């Protein structure tokens, strides 16, 4: 377990490179700690000035009158390394290095300086945040150990949200948005290169703060996924949700991340699967990162995702229903008793289905929302409500609307509001309710909140990813060996024989007793056998099979491909073709790939990635999420595919690869013939370490 709380509540801080100018990088931390209530000891280090910002300095860190808990380093290059070395020798617990010019430069000099810095810290057991860090800001303790200008633009207030980011800007921007919305921020950390302490490790400490309700995380690389796994586990244990934005999704974004923080991008589908497995919700931009914040700060405990919509506008009802479908948020089917109650409460011309249109009657009856919302909240199919008020103001009792909405939300049913008029929205915001300008934003935030809760609940029942550190690569096996390994892993494979000469192929044809066979050149030298003329299909007699085998041998010789023999197997049909594969990711260990198979798998990919080991429910859900999924249940009178058999094969493979003793480093079984009962792998390539 990480114990980095001394960064959040240090008893003493030394500022190396302290400046008398409160607007400079070395001056802002001194100003911030003074203005934001830091009560500990501050030791400014400046060899040229005896006093900075009214505080007595020491010329060197070594001359500090106390051994500080944290040393904040704001001097450049070699001087920064020397300051870290001094701090390590003194017994300082941790350094925050704001200086740049290290690993993020991707130069030999920068890498060497960073390695020297880390070596000194590790030898002493001292932890380092950075280098290239904007700094750490802990507003509950006043320990603002950084230089962000936004803290003067948007004055801080302690609150229930924490922000941990590799990027300084992506710590400041969400901070500013939240503060403008009146939400207090407890932590705003920009960690930089993550050479030692990673953003995920620091976040693990933050989510254990009993006063935190939500943590926002921005990453550009995953140094050690063990801390992300730990973060997911701690998040679920403490009930503090983690919403993550990961930069570098595109190829150009990945290159930009590398030049920004020295990050190395990982394979995105694997990272996506990993975050889902550990219960961390992933978003795609800053707007989404903060969009649902107010919802997470409520005390709701929803059990499902059925949505009810109420508005005084028929158009808003229509658009909210459309938005709910786009967000995969089902509109609740109201019980007859609920509809009857609504008919009692509303005028005869009102719409009492779902959505509920209360019409312009709201103008003359300000109590309508207060009567309708509890009726909907009492319906067993309703798990959340959206209240849309596109037009109100003069003549409407908006304050009563806000009181009634707050009373309803306090009863335990999640409620979001779509209110475009700022003056109308103000009393709802003052009541602490989540208010959005229009219904699609409200529905999207509600969908995220409800789905994230389910994701966290589901993650609690899943095994922790294996997270092995495999050796890259592996020896490719020939197809006969590969099929044998797949069979050992628990994947059904096609019956086959391996023979040495074309003459033996005729006898193999007779022994297999099939109407037609395939003959392949068996070799580990190439995976593109068809292109080299090493595969012959639909051979319906022993003579035809032998002649095809002779052609295969000739083709192999022409292309210089050594053969280990000739593989003969029955032609096997399937209702559809699937794919099952696996690899060892350098960061995340064994992963399994499941999807549509066949010759177009690279041109039209339709696959899902699963972390190993996985459960049967995970495997089934992954298969059911494929674009080909509607075909699996049978179309136009076709029989259904045995999805259960496919999912069980996925689970068996994932469990085998999660075993550190498993010698397989990867495989590709494509195609797998998906049948009405069972499935059969008819082609395979296996890598063995």
The burial class, CB within 10 Å (0-12 / 13-18 / 19+), for 637 is exposed
For the cut 90, the answer to whether the pLDDT of residue 471 exceeds it is no
Q: What is the mean pLDDT of residues 602-630?
A: 93
- pLDDT grade, residue 154 (50/70/90)? very high
**Residue 350 near residue 358 (C-beta atoms within 8 A):** yes
For the cut 50, the answer to whether the pLDDT of residue 546 exceeds it is yes
**Residue 521 near residue 528 (C-beta atoms within 8 A):** no
pLDDT, residue 258, reads 45
pLDDT, residue 472, reads 58
For the cut 70, the answer to whether the pLDDT of residue 438 exceeds it is yes
Please, what is the angle between helix 398-410 and helix 368-377, to 10°?
20
Q: What is the mean pLDDT of residues 610-623?
A: 96
Portion of the chain with pLDDT greater than 70, in percent: 96
Q: HEC string of 408-425? A: HHHCCCCEEEECCCHHHH
**Residue 183 near residue 294 (C-beta atoms within 8 A):** yes
**Residue 575 near residue 635 (C-beta atoms within 8 A):** no
- pLDDT grade, residue 1 (50/70/90)? low
pLDDT, residue 384, reads 97
Please, what is the angle between helix 368-377 and helix 336-345, to 10°?
170
Q: In this predicted model, what pLDDT tens digit does every residue of 578-607 receive, in sequence order?
A: 999 999 888 888 999 999 998 878 888 899
Determine the Cα–Cα distance for residues 323 and 448; give it in Å rounded to an integer.
13
Q: In this predicted model, what pLDDT tens digit does every residue of 333-373 receive, in sequence order?
A: 999 999 999 999 998 888 888 999 988 888 888 999 999 99
Q: In this predicted model, what pLDDT tens digit does every residue of 249-284 receive, in sequence order?
A: 655 544 444 444 344 445 788 999 999 999 999 999
For the cut 60, the answer to whether the pLDDT of residue 17 exceeds it is yes
Q: In this predicted model, what pLDDT tens digit does every residue of 305-335 receive, in sequence order?
A: 999 999 999 999 999 999 999 999 999 999 9
pLDDT, residue 262, reads 40
Q: HEC string of 458-508? A: HHHCCCCCCCCCCCCCCEECCHHHHHHHHHHHCCCECCCEEECCHHHHHHH
Average pLDDT, the chain: 93
Beta bridge partners of 283: 245
For the cut 90, the answer to whether the pLDDT of residue 621 exceeds it is yes
Q: Terminal CA-to-CA distance of the chain, rounded, Å?
A: 32
Give phi and psi for 270, each to the nearest 5.
-70, -45
- Domains with residue ranges and CATH for the chain: 1-147 (3.40.50.720), 155-176+186-291 (3.40.50.261), 304-454 (3.40.50.261), 495-570 (3.30.1490.20), 576-688 (3.30.470.20)
Determine the Cα–Cα distance for residues 485 and 493; give it in Å rounded to an integer.
10
pLDDT, residue 170, reads 95
Give phi and psi for 183, each to the nearest 5.
-95, 130
Residue 21: other Cβ atoms inside 10 A: 13
DSSP symbol at 331: B
Q: What is the mean pLDDT of residues 76-86?
A: 97
* Residue 18, CA atoms < 13 Å, CB-side half-sphere: 31
DSSP symbol at 75: S
Beta bridge partners of 185: 161
């Amino acid at each position: 377990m990480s114990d980095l709380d001394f960064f959040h509540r240090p008893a003493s801080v030394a500022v190396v490179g302290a400046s008398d100018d409160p607007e400079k990088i070395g001056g802002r931390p001194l100003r911030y700690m003074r203005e934001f209530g830091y009560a500990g000891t501050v030791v400014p280090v400046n060899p040229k000035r005896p006093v900075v910002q009214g505080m007595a300095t020491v010329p060197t860190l070594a001359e500090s009158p106390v051994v500080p808990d944290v040393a904040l380093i704001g001097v450049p290059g070699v001087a920064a390394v020397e300051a870290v070395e001094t701090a390590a020798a003194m017994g300082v617990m941790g350094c925050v290095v704001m200086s740049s010019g290290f690993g993020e430069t991707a130069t030999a000099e920068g890498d060497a300086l960073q390695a020297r810095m880390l070596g000194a810290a590790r030898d002493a057991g001292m932890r380092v945040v950075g280098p290239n860090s904007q700094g750490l800001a802990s507003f509950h303790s006043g320990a603002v150990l950084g230089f962000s200008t936004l803290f003067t633009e948007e004055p801080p207030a302690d609150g229930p949200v924490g922000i941990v980011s590799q990027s300084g800007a992506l710590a400041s921007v969400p901070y500013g948005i939240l503060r403008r919305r009146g939400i207090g921020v407890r932590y705003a950390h920009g960690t930089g290169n993550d050479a030692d302490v990673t953003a995920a490790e620091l976040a693990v400490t933050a989510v254990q703060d009993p006063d935190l309700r939500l943590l926002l995380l921005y990453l550009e690389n995953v140094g050690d996924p063990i801390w992300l796994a730990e973060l997911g586990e701690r998040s679920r244990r403490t009930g503090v949700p983690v919403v993550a934005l990961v930069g570098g999704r595109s190829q150009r974004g990945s290159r930009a991340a590398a030049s920004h923080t020295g990050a190395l991008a990982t394979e995105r589908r694997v990272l996506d699967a990993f975050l889902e497995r550990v219960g961390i919700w992933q978003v795609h931009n800053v707007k989404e990162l903060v969009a649902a914040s107010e919802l997470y700060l409520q005390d709701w405990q929803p059990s499902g995702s059925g949505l009810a919509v109420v508005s005084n506008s028929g158009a808003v009802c229509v658009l909210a229903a459309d938005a709910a479908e786009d967000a995969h948020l089902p509109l609740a089917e109201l019980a007859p008793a609920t509809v009857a109650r609504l008919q009692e409460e509303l005028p005869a011309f009102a719409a009492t289905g779902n959505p509920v249109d209360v019409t312009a009657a709201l103008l003359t009856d300000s109590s309508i929302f207060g009567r309708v919302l509890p009726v909907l909240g009492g319906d067993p199919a309703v798990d959340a409500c959206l209240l849309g008020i596109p037009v109100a103001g003069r003549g409407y009792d908006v304050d009563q609307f806000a009181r009634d909405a707050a009373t309803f939300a306090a009863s335990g049913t999640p409620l979001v509001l779509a209110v475009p008029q700022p003056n109308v929205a103000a009393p709802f915001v003052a009541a602490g309710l989540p208010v959005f300008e229009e219904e699609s934003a409200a529905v999207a935030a509600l969908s995220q909140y409800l789905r994230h809760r389910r994701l966290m609940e589901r993650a609690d029942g899943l095994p922790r990813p294996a997270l092995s550190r495999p050796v890259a690569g592996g020896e490719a096996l020939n197809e006969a060996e590969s099929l044998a390994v797949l069979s050992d892993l628990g994947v059904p494979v096609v019956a086959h024989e391996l023979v040495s000469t074309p003459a033996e192929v005729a006898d193999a044809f007779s022994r297999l007793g099939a109407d037609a066979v395939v003959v392949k050149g068996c070799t580990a030298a190439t995976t593109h056998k068809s292109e080299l003329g090493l595969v012959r299909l639909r051979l319906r007699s022993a003579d035809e099979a032998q002649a095809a085998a002779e052609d295969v041998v000739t083709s192999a010789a022409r292309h210089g491909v050594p053969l280990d023999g000739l593989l003969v197997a029955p032609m096997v049909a399937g209702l559809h073709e699937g794919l099952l594969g696996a690899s060892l990711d350098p960061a995340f260990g064994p992963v399994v790939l499941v999807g549509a198979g066949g010759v177009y798998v690279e041109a039209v990919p339709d696959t899902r990635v699963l972390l190993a080991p996985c459960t049967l429910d995970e495997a089934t859900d992954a298969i059911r999420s494929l674009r080909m999924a509607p075909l699996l249940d049978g179309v136009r009178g076709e029989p259904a595919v045995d999805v259960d058999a496919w999912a069980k094969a996925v689970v068996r493979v994932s469990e085998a690869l999660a075993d550190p003793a498993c010698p397989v480093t990867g495989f590709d079984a494509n195609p797998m013939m998906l049948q009405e009962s069972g499935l059969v792998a008819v082609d395979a390539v296996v890598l063995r370490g």
